[in-house]
């Protein structure tokens, strides 16, 4: 199956590189970057399309969290914030999230979206149509904002479906849950040594994730 897929991919690249006009046998060698675009697109399933009314003048805050580490080892820092999350359907291990009461909006990290197999679900922002502006805790603009995506995920014993803005979070968590999430699901919070903990929510209960680093 994999060999057949690679062969089909190569055929598509060859078609783009060697396609010529109908009245001649002389092939036209197209730029490699165009062939690469075709090959890259072929790796993805059908993409969600941006459509509908414009997202006009949306403003909010993302990133109401400051990373304060008790360890200097970056390996320890990477698992010192937040709590484990499990995003459907791949349930990528070692993913982490955090609750940020200082954020108006919830955000998902762009690179994690790719690893979680949900890149094709993201609806990109449209130039000149969608006006979305976010700022970080220090007032600096959050850019780029790649788009928005709706995902199903488990966290702290509950299953949720929520829409996120897709950005580069810049901290060692993959998901940041903001005030929009807390209000939508009527979240009651407690606070532990590592920040906000969900004590109750208007959501389906599931098995609580164990906070360990998965090796296999």
Instruction: State the pTM of this model.
Output: 0.76
Q: Is the dihedral of CA 40, 42, 48, 53 positive or negative?
A: positive
**210 within a domain of the structure (yes/no):** no
Percentage above 90 pLDDT, the chain: 45
- Structural domain boundaries enclosing 10: 2-21+28-42
pLDDT above 50 (res 2): no
What pLDDT score does 25 carry?
Answer: 53
Residue 74 or 155, more confident: 155
User: What pLDDT is stored for residue 205 in this prediction?
Assistant: 97
Residue 65 in any domain: the answer is yes
Q: Are residues 198 and 151 in the same domain?
A: yes
Answer yes or no: is 185 within a domain.
Answer: yes
Q: Check whether residue 14 and residue 66 sit in a common domain.
A: no
How many independent structural domains does the chain possess?
2
The verdict on residue 213 lying in a domain is no
Report which listed range, 29-38, 84-93, 188-197, is most confident: 84-93
Strands 188-192 and 107-109: unpaired
Question: Whole-angstrom Cα distance, residue 98 to residue 81?
Answer: 7
């Amino acid at each position: 199956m994999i060999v057949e897929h690679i062969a089909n991919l190569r055929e598509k690249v060859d078609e783009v590189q060697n396609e010529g006009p109908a009245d001649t046998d002389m092939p036209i060698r197209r730029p490699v970057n165009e062939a690469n675009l075709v090959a890259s697109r072929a790796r993805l399933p059908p993409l969600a399309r941006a459509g509908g009314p414009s997202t006009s003048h949306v403003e909010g805050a993302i990133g109401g969290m400051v990373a304060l580490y008790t360890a200097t080892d970056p390996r320890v820092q990477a698992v010192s914030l937040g709590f484990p999350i499990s995003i459907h359907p791949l349930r990528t291990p070692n993913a982490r999230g955090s609750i940020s009461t200082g954020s108006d909006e919830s955000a998902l990290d762009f690179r994690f979206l790719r690893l979680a197999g949900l890149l094709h679900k993201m609806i990109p922002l449209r130039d000149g149509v969608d006006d979305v502006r976010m700022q970080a805790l220090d007032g600096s603009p959050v850019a780029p904002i790649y788009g928005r995506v709706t995902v199903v995920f488990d966290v702290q014993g509950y299953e949720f479906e929520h829409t996120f803005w897709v950005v580069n979070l810049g901290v060692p968590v993959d998901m940041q849950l903001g005030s929009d999430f807390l209000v939508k699901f009527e979240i009651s919070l407690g606070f532990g040594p590592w920040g906000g903990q969900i004590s109750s929510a208007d959501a389906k209960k599931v098995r609580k994730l164990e906070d360990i680093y998965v090796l296999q």
